[in-house]
Amino acid sequence: MPKRVLTGTVVSDKADKTVVVRVERRVKHPLYGKIIKLSKKYHAHDEGNAYRQGEQVRIEECAPISKKKTWSVLDRIGAAKVEAVEIVEGATTPVEEPKAAKKPAKADKAAAKPAKGKTTKVAEPEPTEA
């Protein structure tokens, strides 16, 4: 009987020689007909601890290795997505974003915009002759 091969994303690589792979599949809802994503996690054997979180891998069914591990990693399909990290020289503590300014009070809001239905004219200064 052929072994099943699935494709998924590594969600955890904390355990020794084990990775947790999330396999997503798309199915049509039986009553509503909407396409929905279903996912399942599999524990797969990674002999050399070669795979990292976020990588796309193929896993293959195998004989039970432990209570939860019945899959082994075949190969890497895609690399992990790398996030940009900003390094600030001379900083010893993390840089914090400035907090947003307070919202203006109701009195300030009323002064900022005219009342509905009323228009106000701003007098323009007259040019002076020199």
What pLDDT, on the 0 to 100 scale, is given for residue 102?
61
The pLDDT assigned to 78 comes to 87
pLDDT at residue 91 tops 80? no
Determine the average pLDDT of the residues in 44-68: 96
- Give me the pLDDT at residue 110, please: 55
Q: Give the model's pLDDT for residue 35.
A: 98
User: Domain locations in the chain?
Assistant: 5-78
For 25, other C-beta atoms within 10 Å of its C-beta total 11
- pLDDT tier at 94 (50, 70, 90 boundaries)? low
Q: 53 pLDDT exceeds 60?
A: yes
The answer to whether residue 96 scores a pLDDT higher than 60 is: yes
Q: Which CATH class is domain 5-78?
A: mainly beta
Cβ-Cβ contacts under 8 Å for 71 (sequence gap 6 or more)? 6, 21, 42, 43, 44, 45, 59, 60, 61, 62
Residue 113 has pLDDT above 90, yes or no: no
As a whole number, the mean pLDDT across the chain is 84
> Is the full-model pTM beyond 0.85?
no
Map residue 111 onto helix, strand or coil. helix
Neighbouring C-alpha atoms within 13 Å toward the C-beta of 48: 4
